[in-house]
Amino acid sequence: MMCKRVLVVGTGYIGKNFADYAGGKEDIAADIVDSRSGWQQIPFDNYDCVLYAAGIAHRKQTAQNKDLYYDINRDLAVDVAQKAKFAGVGQFIYLSSMSVYGKKVGEITQHIKPDPRHNDYYAHSKFEAEAKLKNLAQEGFAVAIIRPPMVYGGDCPGKFGWLVRLAKYLPIVPDTKNKRSMIYIGNLSDFLCRIVLNGTGGVFCPQNREHVNTAVLVKLIRAGWGKKTITVSLPEPLVANICPAFASLFYSPVKAGYQIFELEDSVKKSLHSLCTMRVCGEK
């Protein structure tokens, strides 16, 4: 069996989890390196694919840190891609974001073009990186752009950790009947493995097989601790203004085929990991 060798640049949450997940497969071998040091000294010609998983996110955006977003999310990504192309690497994968579409609520179809919000440095830096990386693509050098929605898992930074903290102290949950695209880290890692094995380029928007209702997600989290939850139906606009996580934001249509972990199972795995690391406290 032919084994694809992948170099992961970036030791953050997604990069580490992908490298661990790929390590359990016979047809992929993954090495991981920090984006700030080390990758310059590594010869890329030993690899079939470079996955750029570095990025600046989950922090307050200010005028003072604006340049950092463009330095890491755009310029460094292009530098790494250029080195990969020059070394004869056949595929470059870039982790972008759903935020490039500039939407906080609503449906994102295949006909909607990216339009980052003017004050969102994170989204703009990702979008500009996408454009520069696409220009590098040619025969023999495939560029795959991945635009995941909210990623969740045991030690995932961002919105899921916030929802876990909210669920711990919120026995009554507003149910807005909303729909959100989300992807469990295990499903994302598996999807990335498939992209590596296929050697393909293009733009991809992976998500769980089903859209997630936020109230259902909170109930599953609380059920994992043995806690009961009361849901109260409320209008989405009313709740979303106070708590954006209860607004609808989703890719449509949902494309199945790569989901390994179903929602309930993925939430259980996430909570188990969180409590093992003593992040979420008592069950």
For 238-283, the pLDDT digits (tens) are 999 999 999 999 999 876 445 789 999 999 999 877 654 444 333 2
pLDDT confidence of residue 156 = 83
pTM for the model stands at 0.92
d(CA 110, CA 205): 10
In a domain, 228, yes or no: yes
Shared domain for 32 and 58, answered yes or no, is: yes
d(CA 239, CA 255): 28
Total tally of structural domains belonging to the chain: 2
Shared domain for 34 and 167, answered yes or no, is: no
The pair of three-digit structure tokens given for residue 36, joined into one six-digit string: 């700030």
Torsion angle, alpha carbons of 117, 122, 124, 127, to 10: -120
Q: Which of these ranges, 94-98, 152-156, 174-178, 252-256, has the smallest mean pLDDT?
A: 252-256
- The amino acid at residue 179 is K
The answer to whether the beta carbons of residues 214 and 246 sit under 8 Å apart is yes
Shared domain for 93 and 221, answered yes or no, is: no
Place of tokens 């139906």: 233
In a domain, 35, yes or no: yes
pLDDT tier for residue 1 given thresholds of 50, 70 and 90: low
- Other residues' Cβ atoms within 10 Å of the Cβ of residue 68: 15
Place of tokens 């016979």: 26
Q: Average pLDDT over the chain, rounded to whole? A: 90
Shared domain for 69 and 115, answered yes or no, is: yes
Of 67-71, 86-90, 221-225, 239-243, which one has max mean pLDDT?
Answer: 86-90
pLDDT confidence of residue 35 = 84
Angle, helices 159-168/214-224, rounded to nearest 10 degrees? 60
Shared domain for 13 and 78, answered yes or no, is: yes
Closest residue by Cα to residue 125 from 52, 75, 80, 83: 75
In a domain, 225, yes or no: yes
The answer to whether the beta carbons of residues 185 and 208 sit under 8 Å apart is no
Q: Which structural domain range is residue 232 located in?
A: 159-180+211-252+262-276
For 85-113, the pLDDT digits (tens) are 999 999 999 999 999 999 999 999 989 99
